[in-house]
Structure 1
Amino acid sequence: MAKILVVEDERDIRDLVEFTLKYAGHEVVKISNGADAIQAVPEMMPDLILMDVRMPRMTGYEACRVLKTMDAVKHIPVVFLSAKGQQSEMDGGVDAGAYDYILKPFAPDDLIKRVAEVLGKFGIESPSHGLGGLS
């Protein structure tokens, strides 16, 4: 089980991601904006951060850039969640320090699989079951 921080300003998406990842056996903490995430990450030390790009107060790009300057947390992988699939958007995410980019909308099983792949690359064990075709 991994501890995953979900940073998303849209409540419905935040709740869907939480439900999906909890069902897959992960511990999930939700935050609604990048500024609050910067405060919370050093305290909670998640294994993975899933972050929306467009949020009020501080964009995901801005929050990721700040987190990647903090020695205690810069090793934590950040994966952006965004409906914007243009190459320039994805390049911006990588430039900000993100490990990966997941496009919205996504099927729950696809989210579980992508999260498991990222966690595996960082040596973090992920539960092996999905949603059993509920996507």
Structure 2
Amino acid sequence: MSIYQNVLVCVTKQKTCERLIKAASKLKAENGNLRVLHVAKNSWNILDNSRESEALDYLFKVSKEHNADMTMLRADNISKTIADFAKNNGIDLVVLGQSNNEQENKFYKRLCTLLKDEISVEVIS
């Protein structure tokens, strides 16, 4: 298992993403940085959905427990936004959750293409 200096965890609006934050915290160097990112599409209204906003609040607290900053962004092109964020913040590992959803697998491939082997991507099951 490799150890990384700057790790970015991508989370959705589900409390189960806590496992991604915990796993990513083990992949960063002792003095490394952990960042958590949630990108919502511009058309999504997360604040009107109490369960989703509660989940994001929970993930914010979990992030703090692992000394990670959590950022929320809005964009229509989520994979490009994540890639740009990673490149602009010196990230050397992006952590994603595993999915059996074909659309999400296409997302993974798009993200890897955008990162052009400059930044590692690890999928956590």
Q: Whose RCO is larger (CA < 8 A, sep 6+)?
A: 2
TM over 0.5, yes or no?
Answer: no
Name the one with the larger strand percent: 2
TM-score calculated relative to the size of structure 1: 0.42
